[in-house]
């Protein structure tokens, strides 16, 4: 007798994702529905998504990652949501875990799985990048993302979280320039959010935190085990920290009254 399972919608947000999108959609071709919310792409993102049978919606204003995921989720027809990014791929083992789970899911639980990230040709399993449990499978009438403009998360503090077997592959790096540009955008969003909440820093603190990030990534979190990739990862992590707190420090200076005042 065939075992039935709950229907599931894979939800994505995207902009100019034509390079990554085909492999992502191929890895989720087994879901019952694919919803993609586009933010005004000028490449083939929309056409590619439609060729895979996805339901495509467009919203060119950008409210931040958390709010955009909320919008995208609202278009899903099924009760169960699988949130995935365009630079991620579902492994066969993870697919099997999800489909098995959906035969008897619990609406009050949030399901998580491990994400392993590629860093310029090497999957990183140290440096604080692994294990990287992400909460991505849940009932849409029970849970949703918060409003954070960056580093958004599913609001599920009171829910039981269940970890599924299998990994989600994360191809976070394309070209070095694209990687650093994205990092800079994240740093800017982070600083604006924290500044609005009253967080402050000193110029000395910017340098201390950056150096600390390098040492933590490379030594305490065993980045040295990744060879040259570990050195580079610790370095770009330090740069990201520098950009976050440097941007915060600049916002403080702009927020101060002029000396003549």
**pLDDT range class, residue 258, cuts 50, 70, 90:** very low
Domain for residue 154, yes or no?
yes
Tokens 């899903």: give the residue. 76
Q: Among 1-15, 165-179, 228-242, name the most confident range.
A: 228-242
Same structural domain for residues 21 and 132? yes
Distances (CA, A) of 172 to 14, 176, 252: 14, 11, 31
- CA 56/CA 68 separation, integer angstroms: 14
Beta-ladder partners of 112: 135, 163
* Confidence at residue 39, expressed as pLDDT on a 0 to 100 scale: 96
Of 118-122, 172-176, 179-183, which gets the smallest average pLDDT?
A: 172-176
76 — pLDDT class (breaks 50, 70, 90): very high
Which whole number is the average pLDDT over 182-190?
A: 93
- Tell which residue, 73, 153, 164, has the closest CA to residue 114: 164
Give yes or no: residues 156 and 122 share one domain: yes
The last residue of one of the domains, among 152, 171, 190, is 171
Decide if pLDDT at 257 tops 80.
no
Give the per-residue pLDDT at 1.
Answer: 52
pLDDT above 90: residue 3: no
> pLDDT grade, residue 166 (50/70/90)?
very high
- Residue 209 sits in the same domain as residue 156: no
Instruction: Examine the domain organization and report whether 164 and 230 are in the same domain.
Output: no
Which residue is listed with tokens 């895979």? 52
User: Are 145 and 165 within one domain?
Assistant: yes
**Is the bond preceding residue 131 a cis peptide, omega within 30 degrees?**
yes
Q: How confident is the model at residue 173 (pLDDT cuts 50, 70, 90)?
A: confident
Torsions phi, psi of 117, nearest 5?
-105, 140
| Residue at which a domain ends, from 171, 196, 226 | 171
pLDDT-derived band at 149 (thresholds 50, 70, 90) equals confident
What rounded mean pLDDT belongs to the chain? 94
Domain boundary among 139, 171, 203: 171
Is position 198 within any domain?
A: yes
Query: What pLDDT, on a 0 to 100 scale, did the predictor assign at position 2?
Result: 60
Give the pLDDT confidence score for residue 261 in this predicted structure: 32
**Residue 1 falls inside a structural domain:** no
The answer as to whether 260 is a domain residue is no
HEC assignment per residue over 68-85: HHHHHHHCCCCCEEEECC
Q: Does 180 lie in the same domain as 167?
A: no
Residue 45: give its domain's CATH number. Answer: 3.90.550.10
Q: Total domain count for the chain?
A: 2
9 confidence band (pLDDT: 50, 70, 90)? very high
**Burial zone of 220 (CB within 10 Å; 0-12 exposed, 13-18 middle, 19+ buried):** exposed
Distance CA 68, CA 37 (A): 8
**Mean pLDDT over residues 43-59, rounded?**
97
- With the C-alpha atoms ordered 61, 67, 69, 75, is the resulting torsion angle positive or negative? negative
In a shared domain, residues 127 and 162: yes
Range of the domain at 228: 176-255
Q: What is the pLDDT of residues 56-68, one digit of tens each?
A: 999 989 999 999 9
């Amino acid at each position: 007798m065939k075992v039935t399972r709950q229907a599931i919608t894979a939800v994505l947000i995207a902009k100019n994702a034509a390079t990554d999108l085909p492999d992502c959609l191929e890895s989720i071709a087994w879901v019952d529905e694919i919803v993609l919310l586009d933010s005004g792409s000028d490449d083939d993102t929309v056409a590619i998504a439609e060729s895979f049978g996805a339901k495509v919606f467009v919203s060119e204003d950008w409210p931040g990652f958390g709010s955009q995921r909320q919008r995208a989720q609202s278009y899903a027809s099924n009760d169960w949501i699988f949130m995935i990014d365009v630079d991620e791929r579902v492994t066969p083992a993870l697919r099997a875990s999800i489909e098995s789970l959906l035969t008897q899911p619990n609406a009050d639980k949030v399901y998580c799985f491990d994400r392993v990230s590629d860093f310029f040709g090497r999957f990183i399993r140290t440096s604080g990048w692994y294990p990287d449990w992400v909460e991505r499978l849940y009932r849409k009438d029970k849970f949703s993302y918060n409003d954070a403009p960056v580093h958004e998360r599913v609001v599920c503090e009171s829910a039981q979280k269940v970890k599924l077997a299998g990994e989600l592959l994360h191809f976070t790096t394309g070209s070095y320039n694209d990687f650093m540009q994205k990092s800079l955008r994240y740093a800017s969003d982070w600083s604006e959010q924290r500044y609005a909440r009253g967080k402050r820093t000193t110029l000395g603190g910017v340098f201390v935190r950056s150096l600390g990030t390098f040492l933590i990534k490379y030594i305490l979190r065993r980045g040295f085990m990744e060879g040259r990739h570990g050195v580079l990862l610790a370095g770009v992590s330090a740069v990201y920290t520098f950009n976050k707190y440097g941007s915060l420090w600049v916002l403080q200076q702009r927020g101060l009254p002029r000396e003549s005042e």
